[in-house]
Amino acid sequence: MNRAKRTEIFERLRAANPAPTTELAYASTFELLVAVILSAQATDKGVNKATARLFPVANTPQAILDLGEAGLKAHIKTIGLFNSKAKNILAACRILVDEHGGEVPRERKALEALPGVGRKTANVVLNTAFGEPAMAVDTHIFRVANRTRIAQGKTPLAVEQRLLRLVPKEFLQDAHHWLILHGRYVCTARKPRCHECIIADLCEYKQKTPAPDGAGQTASAGAAVHGADVVAGGHEKPAADATS
């Protein structure tokens, strides 16, 4: 895929959703960090239900430390892997209090030193909280980048590095969200909605899914649907960072 195609792809995605953002509910960088840790192998909706109970009670590192392990688990027990996530969050909070004055660090190395925080989680925080052009490659971005040939690679890191190199600079800040949303709502794993895709004519995927019988929609007509989905949609969970 050439630069002209990539530019047109992101221009269309931007036109459909000029200000993409995460679906996770948060009001501070620390709340975002906790939400992203909790979102590993969990849905954003499930995380939001748990943090709606947790954050009014404890939304700073010290406040969560004061809750203790049993208190924290009581608020997040509806989330998968809540036992290990509680331990990681408490350990991360201790480091934040002892080494960073209770603030979330902006440096990648310091973020990745926190328990429960791997590269993808660090990238989400760097991008969403600090405005860095980071690329958190989850399963959606990995699939979309390879399928469309925007940036092919055999590993998430390889795709991340190619995206950072190949995506035109003006789109880098939001590219992470656009690609996740596109993979989540349109370029799905088993049956991509190619007949509704606003970049179908630019995508280099050869086995495009035909429109269902009677659908009566074209790629251009589907642009409105895609735009509505994007506005309603959100950020997909980073994959398995809690174990890294």
Looking at the annotation, which residues are catalytic? 120, 138
Residue 53 identity (one-letter amino acid): R
User: Cα dihedral sign for 147, 24, 19, 119?
Assistant: negative
CB atoms within 10 A of CB 10: 21
User: Cα dihedral sign for 175, 178, 182, 185?
Assistant: positive
The packing angle between helices 172-185 and 156-166, to 10°, is 130
Q: How far apart (Å, rounded) are the C-alpha atoms in residues 67 and 115? A: 18
Which residues are CB-neighbours of 120 under 8 A, at least 6 positions away? 136, 137, 138, 156, 238, 239, 241
- Residue 143: CA count within 13 A, CB half-sphere: 16
Residue given tokens 């074209």 in the structure block: 218
Among candidate residues 122, 120, 118, the one with its CA nearest the CA of residue 105? 122
Angstrom CA distances, 109 to 64, 71, 94, 112, stand at 23, 29, 17, 5
Q: How far apart (Å, rounded) are the C-alpha atoms in residues 36 and 76? A: 13
Tokens of 126: 């760097």
Residue 169 identity (one-letter amino acid): K
